[in-house]
Amino acid sequence: MIGEPHAQPRPRIANVAVVVAKIGEVIARWKEHAAAWGPLAASCAVALGLATGARAPDQPPVATEADRRAAFRAIASDEAAMRSAAADAFPSDLWSRDDDFHRRELDRARGWATHHHVRLSDVLSALDEGLRAGWPQDNSGPLVATVPPCRPRAIY
């Protein structure tokens, strides 16, 4: 009609029949494969149900000042031995040696926190604070507070 906005043409009956036929094919294929995918779908549903109903584990209590100083003393007292073991592992690469030492230090901190039922973050904070403040420790030498520069390895 004159003056009407562009009217959309009506779909042809043949196009509708093709779409309906395609939908029917998809549904038929889905029914064929539903038995194969059923166990996976059930497993996913169970996992989703368990995940939504789970609660976070209880956090350990905050470390007291005595715990923090004991953690520092226990971990810092092994610094010389841990640095020696790291030097044996990386004789020519100072940065990797220091990185290996800090991995060993983190392992000791995790163990101490787990054994004494305190938060790992409190133990690591105590190590940092004790190093900066010069807390007493059983290590025979001074604690190292520097990091060597990262350079390419001598041996590849």
The tens digit of pLDDT for each residue in 82-116 reads 999 999 998 888 888 999 999 999 999 999 999 99
- So where are the chain's domains? 9-54, 65-133
Rounded to the nearest integer, the mean pLDDT of the chain is 84
At 147, give phi and psi (nearest 5°). -125, 130
Q: Which token pair is 119? A: 């938060």
Stretch among 65-74, 87-96, 136-145 having the lowest mean pLDDT: 136-145
pLDDT confidence of residue 4: 60
Q: How far apart are CA 16 and CA 14, in angstroms?
A: 5
Instruction: Tell me: pLDDT of 131 over 80.
Output: yes
* Model confidence at 16: pLDDT above 80: no
**pLDDT at residue 73, rounded to an integer:** 93
> What is the DSSP code string of 69-121?
HHHHHHHHTTHHHHHHHHHHH-SS-HHHHHHHHHHHHHHHHHHHHHHHT--HH
Model pLDDT for residues 23-40, shown as the tens digit of each residue: 888 888 877 777 777 888
C-alpha–C-alpha distance, residues 7 and 110, integer Å: 72
Q: Where are the alpha helices (DSSP H) in 117-155?
A: 120-133
Kindly report the CA angle at 9 between 6 and 13, in degrees rounded to 5? 170
pLDDT band at 9 (very low <50, low <70, confident <90, very high): low
Q: Taking the C-alpha atoms of 24, 26, 29 and 33 in order, what is their torsion angle to the nearest 10 degrees? A: -130
* Whether residue 8 has pLDDT greater than 70: no
pLDDT value at position 64?
93
Of residues 34 and 117, the one with the higher pLDDT is 117
| Nearest of 82, 68, 41, 75 to residue 129 by alpha carbon | 68
Tell me, what's the pLDDT at 153? Answer: 62
pTM of the model: 0.62
Give the pLDDT mean for 41-51.
90
